């Protein structure tokens, strides 16, 4: 167990350094001199220019700059946003909202996706199965911002069931519509994944044995089929977290949810390159952390991983 955790964390390190190096390189390659930009229209004062360059380590070679940047990240310094606020502070203010939204979306994904997928898988080839497959194809091929606009228009503006935009408080009921939108993409995949997984599990010997023992259908489905079909779904949820983050950027932007995604969205819209990069870095780090934690959870849940290879 300890060995596995150690190995997995060790594996995550090169990816961590690789991704940050890659993103940092892209910023490094960004055209334009940020120090000159700081002077604005006033013209460059050479002495101040040199001092600022030294202060931000811009006179150092690329790898040294990267080293300063990475030590900054370890000390919780993610850089400064365009308006002069430390990115760390902005994160502290906005992150809880995004977490709430993401958790709501994942809950909806799991409930709806697994429910429909299980139902469709148990009735393979029937009307419900076929129609749920068609629906999932439609959802997969529609970009999340289109879904967001359509839902906003239909449910908030036409029907008036929810408010079209979210207030600063971002309460539970307000977040419901954005969470549903955010969940739509993954729901389609979870339905299909659960369905094929249920079909495959239903054909296994242990399911026949369970029926042979005289267990009720309800118990076989709940304990034997469903539980064994959930493994790929959980894997998918952790891999899909990146898509969720991108979706959150778009959804939070459209519904004005005061989270990390909206901050990134507004920075992108306004063309604030450095802010965009710091937030993308943070999101990638969150994504890596989530994947690492899921893998470690597997070790807890699955004895084969704990002891074997």
Partner 1 sequence: MANRNEHFVADLAASEVAEIDAVRISEKPTNLYLDAWRDLRKRPMFYIAGVLILAVTVMALFPGLFTQTLPNDNCLLANSNAGPTDGHPLGFTRQGCDIYSRIVHGSSTSLSVGLIVTAMTMAMGVFFGALAGFYGRWVDALLSRAGDIFFAIPYILAAVVIMSVFSDYRNVWVISAAIGIFAWPSTARVLRGEILRVKQADYVMASTAIGVSRFKILMRHVLPNSIAPVIAVTTISLAAAIVAEATLSFLGVGLPTSTMSWGNDISQAQVDLRTAPQVLIWPSLALSITALAFIMMGEAIRDALDPKARAQR
Write out the residues near partner 1 by the rule CB under 8 A: 14-15, 18-19, 22-23, 26-27, 29-31, 137-138, 140-146, 149-150, 152-153, 157, 199, 242-243, 245-246, 249-250, 253-254, 265, 268-269, 271, 273, 276-277, 280, 283-284, 287-288, 291
What's the closest the beta carbon of residue 249 comes to partner 1, in angstroms? 8
Q: Widest CA span of the chain, in angstroms? A: 87
Cβ pair 87, 164 in contact under 8 A: no
Using a 10 angstrom Cβ sphere, with 0-12 exposed, 13-18 middle and 19 or more buried, the burial of residue 94 is buried
CB atoms within 10 A of CB 181: 25
C-beta closer to partner 1: residue 6 or 307: 6
Is residue 177 within 8 A of residue 256, CB to CB? The reply is no
| DSSP bridge partners of 86 | 80
Work out how close the CB of 258 gets to partner 1 at its nearest, in angstroms, rounded to a whole number: 18
**Alpha-carbon torsion angle 251, 256, 259, 260, nearest 10:** 60
Min CB(118)–partner 1 separation in Å:
18
How many Å apart are CA 25 and CA 71, to the nearest integer? Answer: 16
CB-nearer residue toward partner 1: 221 or 260: 260
Nearer to partner 1 among residue 199 and residue 257 (C-beta): 199
Instruction: Kindly tell me which of 12 and 231 has the beta carbon lying closer to partner 1.
Output: 12
Q: Phi and psi at residue 213, in whole multiples of 5°?
A: -70, -10
Q: How far is the CB of 25 from partner 1 (least distance, A)?
A: 10
Supply the minimum distance, in Å, between the C-beta of residue 26 and partner 1.
5
Of the pair 208, 219, the CB lying nearest partner 1 is at 208
């Amino acid at each position: 167990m300890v060995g596995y955790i150690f190995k997995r964390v060790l594996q995550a390190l090169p990816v961590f350094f690789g991704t940050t190096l890659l993103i940092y390189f892209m910023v490094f390659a960004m055209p334009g001199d940020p120090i000159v930009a700081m002077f604005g229209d006033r013209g460059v004062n050479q002495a101040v220019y040199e001092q600022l360059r030294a202060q931000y380590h811009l006179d150092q070679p690329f790898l040294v700059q990267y080293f300063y940047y990475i030590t900054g990240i370890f000390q919780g310094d993610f850089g400064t946003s365009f308006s002069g606020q430390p990115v760390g502070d902005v994160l502290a203010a906005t992150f809880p909202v995004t977490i709430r939204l993401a958790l709501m979306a994942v809950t909806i994904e799991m409930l709806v996706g697994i429910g429909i997928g299980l139902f469709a898988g148990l009735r393979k080839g029937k009307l419900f199965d076929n129609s749920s497959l068609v629906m999932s194809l439609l959802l997969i091929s529609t970009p999340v911002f289109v879904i967001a606009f359509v839902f906003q228009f239909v449910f908030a503006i036409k029907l008036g069931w929810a408010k079209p935009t979210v207030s600063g408080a971002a309460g539970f009921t307000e977040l419901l519509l954005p969470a549903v939108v955010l969940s739509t993409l993954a729901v389609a995949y979870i339905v299909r994944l659960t369905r094929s997984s249920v079909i495959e599990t239903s054909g296994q010997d242990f399911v026949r044995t369970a029926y042979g023992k005289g267990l009720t259908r309800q118990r076989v489905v709940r304990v034997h089929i469903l539980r064994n079909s959930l493994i790929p779904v959980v894997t998918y949820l952790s891999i899909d977290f990146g898509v969720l983050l991108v979706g959150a950027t778009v959804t939070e932007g459209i519904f004005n949810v005061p989270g990390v995604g909206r901050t990134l969205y507004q920075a992108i819209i306004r063309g604030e390159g450095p802010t965009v990069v710091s937030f993308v870095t943070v999101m990638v780090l969150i994504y890596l952390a989530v994947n690492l934690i899921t893998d470690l959870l597997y070790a807890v849940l699955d004895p084969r991983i704990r002891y074997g290879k």
